[in-house]
Amino acid sequence: MSDSPQLILSRRMPELPPIFLKQRRYWPVATLTLIALCVLVFILMTLVGGSENSDILLNFGASYGPFLKRGDYWRLVMPMFLHIGWFHLAVNMYALYLLGPIYERIYGYARFSLIYVGAGITGSWLSMAMSQNVAAGASGAIFGIAGAMLVTGRLYPEVVPWRWKRAFGRGMVLVIILNYAIGLSLHNLIDNWGHTGGLLGGILLALIIPPPGVYRRYGWTLSAIPRQAVVVPMAIVALSMFATASHYREAENVTRLVAEGRRYWSQNQDDRAVQTFQQAARQYPGDERPHEELAAVYLSRNQMADAIREYNTALRLSPGSPMAQLGLAVAYARDGQPDKARQLLTEIVGKNPQTADAQMALADLCGEQDLYPEAIQHYQEAIRLRPDLAEARNNLAWMLATADDKRYRNPAEALALAQQAVELSHWKEATFIDTLAEALYVNGKYEQAVETQKKALALDPGNKEMQAHMAKYRKAAGA
């Protein structure tokens, strides 16, 4: 007796999961909520200073290994809601909009949310464990969904509609490989560790969290996950955002106090500066910045023991901080402990600090902290090691022309270095020409400064800073 057409058809076509049979229209509420949160956070970041500002990123919870080590565990969650620029946001939200509704419809909003947030956390953790860079983006969690789709397609093919089979198999493998290829070619711009952590997290979670309504069971899977389980990822995200808001308020207050202290210091009111920095350190003991500022003041006063103490405190709060490491190295060198100084410098620039690039990096860091003697020394060493390094000559020229501490200004040498920099760069670097104009200005050659600045603006006409310099030069030339 032959089988009926209905029986033959049922053998060929696997039964659809219940969610596909109950309703024809499905709203992916978890996916839409995640997209809305990412957009909302991006708007807030834009309003307070911009999503490409590293300080804003850190204050909003971007992943950064040293801060995780000091106890900022909410940074495991927040990076999946942060994006660096509109393009970054648009690419990730488009990917989430493509994959999220498909997987959420099969898994339901509770299980989908558990996998997405869990994968985002593992991505952030691996990124911070393996890298010292500031990173953000939902791509780690999205990679997690991609990995979870592969697991589902392999273990539970009966829940995947025929039209989606490729997305849960070879098609997704190709997408993952392509994205990794792009990431490796742009390794300085893309957080490959975050992608890897998210992918592995998504695979692991999909192995232990089965889709609802499946008939086959594996010994390692969880037996029952109710819809109410959605409160777990919701609580994790809510608590992390609350911690971020609290941290943001504290960070802004520290920024205000640090700026106030720096203003006192620039006005030679060292005692008031120290008091202000100490107030910030007392009120916000988890922030390294007040200790770095205190150490810098003590260093300028040759109070080496106090400087070393404060720099060590800053490093305890922010392990690996290049500013604290550099300041501590300078303090050790001035205190007669050269071996400790060399060890710290090696940690900053690598195993061979005696290269032109390493010396210039050290000089730039010293300049940012107003450590003028050390900055000048390292710039000169970089030039000695590579005489054609125009950038080192330019940066040293700018420092000798504009140093806040007039003891380290040298207009004549600044002019000679700036002229050499523009000649080495064949007058094609606007910033170098701008430095030459500034050197001419501080040497009293105002009309020449105006003519030179015209060449800089011809290369970069929209530069506001150069326009302000031009106004200053024209005013002086007119006078």
- DSSP per position, 29-67: HHHHHHHHHHHHHHHHHHHHT-TT-HHHHHHTT-B-HHH
- In this predicted structure, the answer to whether residue 288 has a pLDDT above a threshold of 80 is yes
- In this predicted structure, the answer to whether residue 324 has a pLDDT above a threshold of 90 is no
Per-residue pLDDT tens for 61-79?
A: 999 988 898 889 999 999 9
**Dist. CA 302–CA 304, nearest whole Å:** 5
Are 379 and 371 within 8 A, CB to CB? no
48 in a structural domain: yes
348 in a structural domain: no
Per-residue pLDDT tens for 330-372?
A: 888 888 887 887 777 777 766 556 778 778 877 887 887 778 8
Predicted pLDDT of residue 168: 85
Could you tell me the end-to-end alpha-carbon distance of the chain, in angstroms, rounded to an integer?
Answer: 110
**Dist. CA 325–CA 13, nearest whole Å:** 65
CATH number, residue 12: 1.20.1540.10
Cβ atoms < 10 Å from Cβ of 461: 10
Q: Residue 191: pLDDT band by 50, 70, 90 thresholds? A: confident
Across the range 318-335, mean pLDDT stands at 84
Q: Alpha helix (H) ranges present in 186-303? A: 192-208, 231-266, 270-283, 289-300
φ, ψ of residue 63 in degrees (nearest 5): -70, 135
Range of 407's domain? 393-479
Q: Residue 185: pLDDT band by 50, 70, 90 thresholds? A: low
Q: What type of residue is 346?
A: T
Q: Which two tokens stand for residue 421?
A: 């920099």
Please say which residue of 243, 268, 291 terminates a domain: 243
Number of compact structural domains in the chain: 2
- In this predicted structure, the answer to whether residue 1 has a pLDDT above a threshold of 80 is no
320 in a structural domain: no
Per-residue pLDDT tens for 216-257?
A: 777 787 877 888 999 999 999 999 999 999 999 999 999 999
Where in the sequence numbering do the catalytic residues fall? 139, 195
**Dist. CA 85–CA 38, nearest whole Å:** 12
Q: What type of residue is 69?
A: K
**Dist. CA 72–CA 286, nearest whole Å:** 10
Q: What type of residue is 316?
A: R
**Dist. CA 413–CA 393, nearest whole Å:** 10
Predicted pLDDT of residue 457: 93
Please say which residue of 209, 226, 243 terminates a domain: 243
Q: Burial of 407 by CB count in 10 Å (0-12 exposed, 13-18 middle, 19+ buried)? A: exposed
159 in a structural domain: yes
Q: Cα angle at 85 between 40 and 460, to 5 degrees? A: 140
- In this predicted structure, the answer to whether residue 7 has a pLDDT above a threshold of 60 is no
78 in a structural domain: yes
CA 69 to chain centre: 16
**Secondary-structure percent of the chain, ordered helix, strand, coil, rounded to 5:** 75, 0, 25
Per-residue pLDDT tens for 31-70?
A: 999 999 999 999 999 999 888 888 899 999 999 988 898 8
Report how many helices (DSSP H) and strands (DSSP E) the chain contains, helices first.
22, 0
**Dist. CA 105–CA 26, nearest whole Å:** 7
Q: Could you give the C-alpha distances from 29 to 36, 97, 384, in angstroms and in order?
A: 10, 11, 63
CATH number, residue 454: 1.25.40.10
**Dist. CA 78–CA 61, nearest whole Å:** 5
Task: Name the pTM for this structure.
Answer: 0.71
Across the range 445-451, mean pLDDT stands at 94
Please say which residue of 243, 274, 293 terminates a domain: 243
